[in-house]
Homo-oligomer: A and B are copies of this chain.
């Protein structure tokens, strides 16, 4: 380990090879959480917070400058450690992308949630990473895509990371993101519903039958969800038990439990009860009620938002009921659990090993790039390469008239619009002929050295929505693709999504759905829905190309026009990697 690390420890063998001052204030309890951190100080902090939460630790490793062992190697080791059930990882960057992917996929295979803190999201942060260590920080957006693809959960704060680790260690794992809320304060219920929406948790209305049962128990209760059982329950604690019992009967059993015997309404439950259960006269009846509820619903994912003394919290945890003083933090931890509920059920997509595409010989102009992508399965706009005004007019007529666009075709001119090398909207033979001459004279004037293949004449399409599809060879993770909507979505809103290549069509659909502008494709507000299936097929085909063309540094299809039926690439570009100098 190291140099520049704080060592490691293992609670099972009681091996403490660290000089972290954190241990001055007490040795760790044994537990199922293992922590792996590139930074010693960050790792110490994570362990300190775990102990404050009363959360036992299994193994704790800091790797420092990684002369030998790296975060990725240790992560793989922890994934395969039978005593580790939850992993918390911190890194500023990794050098070995494929090994990190293998470690994350192995953890998912074995059903172990990985919570990852990766810093350097912001511009100042990324700069600070560079000045702080020699870690190959890589692109943060790509790292993010890797974590998403491999099912890890990225935490943006230490508090969020530790709360998730706590809930995953102590509680039952829900199977989805529908949450039932039972509170003694209508106001807190509304606050929780607001926060649930921010966290993309659903708070669905309870079925009529459930609401009727709740009304029968407490006529003035709010029963929709959030369920407001009011402070009345502290006058009669049996009401707390009976109300929660109704909700838990409509709650999906935890992961691994047999299917429910009737339709379920929620996947987990959170009950908010203020500090009242900690009042002397309530402690005993409250714990008895919880114990009976747990016996009746042994796998129900239930969390408590209460402020109670330490020993009471421990008793709740022994019933596999995580305790959060703050109701918002209970919700955030539930959202993290819901992430893993989705991800751990999911098999790693079988990695298609695409047959390598041999590199082209000579320069790669628009024509060659389009031909390669067309062979790879990217649909291209109908177009002809012409070499005279007569050929141009003939091609125009062969298209059956209609507006066409004329462009310079040269492997030496990559950014045609900058020299006026694209003329739109040619609607008759005379205009086509004039445009042909004009392009030749512009080429002669602005790019006299460029070798001209001719002039490209293409059908000009209207309508649809423009997307951009790109690939880049990331130095750490290899081929990565990017999808975004064109125009202001990319330029102003930076609305793009990354993924490791290749992706399946299903994964492409998920990429599309992440975009802020997705409603435009889906047919928002009376717009015609566009062909998302064709877009997904094209993204998948392009990603196969990205994975197979090892010699490509980058490629771009821009614009890729998505139509009501089909998609059409209007332009394309491939850049070969420079040979090492």
Instruction: Indicate how many identical chains form the complex.
Output: 2
Instruction: Give A40 to B231 CA distance when docked, in angstroms.
Output: 10
Instruction: Give A225 to B132 CA distance when docked, in angstroms.
Output: 11
Instruction: Give A101 to B119 CA distance when docked, in angstroms.
Output: 41
Report if A11 contacts B (CB, 8 A): no
Given A194-B119, A327-B158: A128 in contact with B186 (beta carbons within 8 A)? yes
Chain B residues lying within 8 Å of A191, measured Cβ to Cβ, are 42, 117, 119, 125, 157-158
The 0/1 profile, CB within 8 Å of B marked 1, for residues 137-170 of chain A is: 0000000000000000000111100000000000
Instruction: Give A48 to B305 CA distance when docked, in angstroms.
Output: 13
Q: In the bound complex, do residue A194 and residue B120 qualify as a contact, i.e. CB atoms below 8 Å apart?
A: yes
Q: Nearest chain B CB to A23's CB is how many angstroms away?
A: 10
Report if A90 contacts B (CB, 8 A): yes
Please, which residue of chain B has its CB at the minimum distance from the CB of A183?
A: B41
Chain B residues lying within 8 Å of A225, measured Cβ to Cβ, are 124
Report if A410 contacts B (CB, 8 A): no
Given A185-B39, A197-B123: A128 in contact with B222 (beta carbons within 8 A)? yes
Instruction: Give A325 to B157 CA distance when docked, in angstroms.
Output: 13
Chain B residues lying within 8 Å of A520, measured Cβ to Cβ, are 488, 492
Instruction: Give A369 to B481 CA distance when docked, in angstroms.
Output: 52
The 0/1 profile, CB within 8 Å of B marked 1, for residues 181-225 of chain A is: 000111111110111111000010000000000000000001011
Determine which residue in A120, A190, A325, A517 has the highest number of CB atoms from chain B within 10 A of its CB, and name it: A190
Report if A44 contacts B (CB, 8 A): yes
Chain B residues lying within 8 Å of A39, measured Cβ to Cβ, are 185-188
Instruction: Give A22 to B198 CA distance when docked, in angstroms.
Output: 30
Report if A438 contacts B (CB, 8 A): no
Q: Which of B222, B224, B274 contacts A45 (CB 8 A)?
A: B274
Please, which residue of chain B has its CB at the minimum distance from the CB of A331?
A: B157
The 0/1 profile, CB within 8 Å of B marked 1, for residues 380-410 of chain A is: 0000000000000000000000000000000
Q: In the bound complex, do residue B491 and residue A125 qualify as a contact, i.e. CB atoms below 8 Å apart?
A: no
Report if A237 contacts B (CB, 8 A): no
Determine which residue in A25, A90, A193, A519 has the highest number of CB atoms from chain B within 10 A of its CB, and name it: A193
Determine which residue in A275, A280, A493 has the highest number of CB atoms from chain B within 10 A of its CB, and name it: A275
Q: In the bound complex, do residue B491 and residue A524 qualify as a contact, i.e. CB atoms below 8 Å apart?
A: yes
Q: In the bound complex, do residue B226 and residue A193 qualify as a contact, i.e. CB atoms below 8 Å apart?
A: no
Instruction: Give A525 to B275 CA distance when docked, in angstroms.
Output: 54
Report if A581 contacts B (CB, 8 A): no
Report if A133 contacts B (CB, 8 A): yes
Instruction: Give A491 to B523 CA distance when docked, in angstroms.
Output: 11
Report if A310 contacts B (CB, 8 A): no
Q: Which of B48, B186, B231, B525 contacts A491 (CB 8 A)?
A: B525
Chain B residues lying within 8 Å of A519, measured Cβ to Cβ, are 492
Q: Which of B48, B125, B127 contacts A274 (CB 8 A)?
A: B48
Q: In the bound complex, do residue A132 and residue B275 qualify as a contact, i.e. CB atoms below 8 Å apart?
A: no
Instruction: Give A25 to B123 CA distance when docked, in angstroms.
Output: 47
A interface residues, Cβ below 8 angstroms from B: 21-22, 24-25, 37-42, 44-45, 48-49, 52, 90, 92, 117, 119-125, 127-129, 131-133, 156-159, 184-191, 193-198, 203, 222, 224-226, 228, 231, 234, 274-276, 278-280, 307, 325-329, 488, 491-493, 516-517, 519-520, 524-525
Listed by A's residue number, 7 A-B pairs whose Cβ atoms lie within 8 Å are A41-B186, A42-B185, A49-B326, A119-B191, A125-B190, A132-B190, A158-B328
